[in-house]
Amino acid sequence: MTNANEYLTKPLPSQDEQKDFYKTLRAKVQTWLDTKSGLVGKLGKYVLFAPDMFHLLAKLMLDSRIDAKSKGLVGAGILYFFAPLDFLPEILIGPGGFADDVVVAVFIVNTLLNKFPNEVIEEHWAGDEDLLSVVRGISDAGNKFTSKLPAGRLVKRFLK
């Protein structure tokens, strides 16, 4: 059995290896989405932001300008991506299950955008579209989607 400390002493993958992984993951999600219709097809454009948002959270976790409390929030967002049971579990519905992970990540990014200069967050963004447009679009879509769910209506009632 390999000791956990051995993994911690290994160097991080190079920037090129990280980009290759990111591009491969994004391509796999796109290929999967191309075969879907219905609710998953409708959520597809948001699911495609999952690798972008995960990458952003990971980079923000390493940014020394982000304070410890905010990094705790970022870390929770990263963990949500890995959680085996969440609102839309990936294990049951495949990549479509990343839709809720993206909404959680957008909530976190939105919180950080209200606390730090936009440039601090945007410099880590690897997506093709403008980060602020993505955050606004997903926030609006997430609000519409969750307001249709019983739990979403309940939460909205308490926030009034």
Better-scored residue on pLDDT, 23 or 94 = 23
Confirm whether 1 is domain-assigned: no
Per-residue pLDDT at 151: 42
- Write down the pLDDT at residue 51: 83
Q: Has residue 131 been placed in a domain?
A: yes
What pLDDT score was predicted for residue 96?
62
Cα 99 to Cα 30, 36, 58, 70, 109: the distances in Å are: 14, 14, 18, 23, 15
Number of domains in the chain: 1
Which own/partner contact pairs does 84-90 have at CB distance under 8 Å and 24+ positions apart? Answer: none
Tell me the per-residue pLDDT of 57-111, one tens digit each, with 9 for 90 and over. 999 999 999 999 999 999 999 988 887 777 666 666 666 667 778 888 888 998 9
pLDDT score for 158: 41
Residue 58 belongs to some domain of the structure: yes
Q: Could you tell me the end-to-end alpha-carbon distance of the chain, in angstroms, rounded to an integer?
A: 54
Q: Output DSSP code: residue 13.
A: P
> The pTM is what?
0.68
> Is 142 within 8 Å of 103 (Cβ atoms)?
yes
Name 98's Cβ contacts closer than 8 Å, sequence gap at least 6: 29, 47, 50, 81, 88, 90
Assigned domain for 136 exists:
yes
Q: For residue 83, what are the domain limits?
A: 13-159
For the stretch 97-155, pLDDT in tens is 677 788 888 889 989 988 999 899 889 888 777 877 878 777 776 555 555 544 444 44
